[in-house]
Amino acid sequence: MALIFLFWFLMSAINIALIASTFYQLLCLLDLESDDINPFEASSRINFWVEPEFLLQGLFCILLLVTGHWITFLLGVPLVCYHVNLYMKRKHLIDVTEVFRNLKVEKKFRIAKLGFYVIFFALVIAKLAMAGFEALAGNDENPLSF
């Protein structure tokens, strides 16, 4: 049961990193909208975190797939597919010259992703709490199963 608890603890850490990355990107877009930073600086700050976010989301889903959490995995697949689609079309990075034209769309996309990650965070924390209670209760029927 301790392995399950450690797994969900790792998943919560990954999810917190995804929330922080998306929130930072959204803050950069809001700063750009209020004219606190210039377009080049905003684009470079956001683009720095795009690929690590994609990789973390992919790792999140791969870990869920490998450990047999099928329903949670299937909930995360649409965002991973969208990220892969953006990456394949080379539209995952923000262009400096078109940042103001796409500002509203980028903000809405980041807000939707933030909501998605927060819902996943609630799910992961619930699973973490259940795993913690099971570990404390000593239900060691199958200690290596996930």
At residue 73, what is the residue type?
F
**pLDDT score recorded for residue 1:** 63
**pLDDT score recorded for residue 139:** 67
What is the length of the chain?
Answer: 146
pLDDT, averaged per 10 consecutive residues of the chain (146 residues), comes to: 89 97 96 93 96 96 94 94 96 92 95 96 95 81 52
Comparing C-alpha atoms, which of 85, 46, 92 is closest to residue 77? 85
Report CA dihedral (37, 112, 95, 42) to the nearest 10 degrees.
20
Q: Which two tokens stand for residue 1?
A: 């049961």
Can you give the pTM of this predicted structure? Answer: 0.90
